[in-house]
Amino acid sequence: MRPWLALAAALAALPVEAAAQETATQGIFEGHGIVKAVAPKTGALTLSHDDIKGFMPAMEMMYRVASPELSRDLKPGDEVDFKIDASKYLIVEVKRIAPGK
Ligand SMILES: [Cu+2]
């Protein structure tokens, strides 16, 4: 890469990285919610979750799961506790605390 091109690329990358660092939440957060749907194959979970302190307010949304095994036995209506990797929006642990009716 010619020097001026490298410089232009470096300058262009700066604001994006700075913005990402300001907004991206890092770490593992604990949440609680109700299973709304389990996607076949991927196991992605649609959850109606409570406020996740420091991460996001209560809402209904779909999360990817680290492995389809995590949500294999879950059904809509189940009440769950879960852990989520905030930077990836990825559920890394799920525990059913009450079965759906
Ligand atoms: Cu959410």
| Ligand 1 midpoint to CA 55 (Å) | 8
Q: Bigger pLDDT: 5 or 36?
A: 36
- Both structure tokens of 34: 């109700």
Within-domain flag for 9: no
Within-domain flag for 19: no
Question: What tens digit of pLDDT does each residue of 48-63 get?
Answer: 999 999 999 999 999 9
Q: Does the reported pTM lie above 0.85?
A: no
- Both structure tokens of 54: 């420091």
Residue 32 belongs to a domain with what CATH number? Answer: 2.40.50.320
| Ligand 1 midpoint to CA 63 (Å) | 8
Domain that holds residue 75: 28-98
Within-domain flag for 1: no
Within-domain flag for 7: no
Measured CA to CA in angstroms, residue 41 lies from 60, 72, 87 at distances of 21, 9, 23
Give pLDDT, residue 59: 98
Provide the domain count of the chain. 1
Cα 50 from Cα 10, distance rounded (Å)? 41
Within-domain flag for 4: no
Within-domain flag for 14: no
| Ligand 1 midpoint to CA 58 (Å) | 6
| Ligand 1 midpoint to CA 52 (Å) | 8
